[in-house]
Amino acid sequence: MYLSMIHAVDWSPTIVAAAGGVPDTGIDGVNQWENIRNNGSSSRTEFIYNLDDLAPYTAGHAAIRMGDYKLIVGYPGLYPGWYPPPTYTDDNFIKEIPYDGSQDDKIQLFNLRDDPNERNNLSDKLPDVVKKLRMRMAEYHKQMVPANYPNGTAVSDPKNYNGFWSPGWC
């Protein structure tokens, strides 16, 4: 059986509906309760995994899923393909790939139905799919509210808060 698409933001409206409430429709989450209850198809067809613009650590790194396809643009994370569980002991596993900026332009496309472990990059074989997903990613990018990463301040120093870090404004 193929599992329908659900995202973490769907939990809130889904749980509210399961409890008999009326979910807020002004949020990103989709109420999946009827689909779960009746073993139906998901109401969701896509979602953004990540959409960052902040240099130097997230210079345009992004990922989107539409249907069975997942597109990753830029640095994909510390491990190629998947994150091993803490108890994983395979010595042949490729170790961490630190961020050095060398993968900022890297494009990876995976068919998650056929390749759930993301081992077969299809970006060169399916340029039209890459283009479609990049265009959709650009639409999300236009809607994006920039993240607020304020500069550090000495006011947040733990010595001012009985040994605890604080943002300094609360």
pLDDT in tens, the chain (170 residues): 345 788 999 999 999 999 999 999 888 899 999 999 998 888 899 999 888 765 444 456 889 999 999 999 987 777 666 666 777 777 666 566 666 767 767 899 999 999 988 889 999 999 999 999 999 998 988 888 877 777 777 777 788 888 887 766 65
pLDDT of residue 2: 47
- Residue pair 69/118 in contact (Cβ under 8 Å)? The answer is no
Query: Structural domain of residue 22, as residue ranges?
Result: 1-44
- 3-state SS assignment for residue 110: strand
- Is it true that the peptide bond before 86 is cis, omega within 30 degrees of 0? no
Block residue for tokens 């808060």: 161
- Same domain flag for 32 and 57: no
pLDDT of residue 41: 87
Burial environment of residue 52 by CB neighbours within 10 A (0 to 12, 13 to 18, 19 or more)? middle
In a domain, 170, yes or no: no
- Same domain flag for 36 and 49: no
Q: Where are the alpha helices (DSSP H) in 31-162?
A: 33-37, 127-143
Model confidence, pTM? 0.73
- Same domain flag for 84 and 57: yes
Question: C-alpha angle with apex 68: 136 to 32, nearest 5 degrees?
Answer: 85
Residue 101 is classified by DSSP as S
pLDDT of residue 3: 55
Q: Which domain CATH number covers 126? A: 3.30.1120.10
Q: How many domains does the chain have?
A: 2
pLDDT of residue 85: 72
- Same domain flag for 26 and 92: no
Please state, in angstroms and rounded to a whole number, the distance separating the CA atoms of residues 1 and 8. 21
- Same domain flag for 51 and 77: yes
pLDDT of residue 52: 76
In a domain, 1, yes or no: yes
109 strand-pairing partners = 71
**Could you tell me what percentage of the chain is helix, strand and coil, using 3-state DSSP and rounding each to the nearest 5?**
25, 10, 65
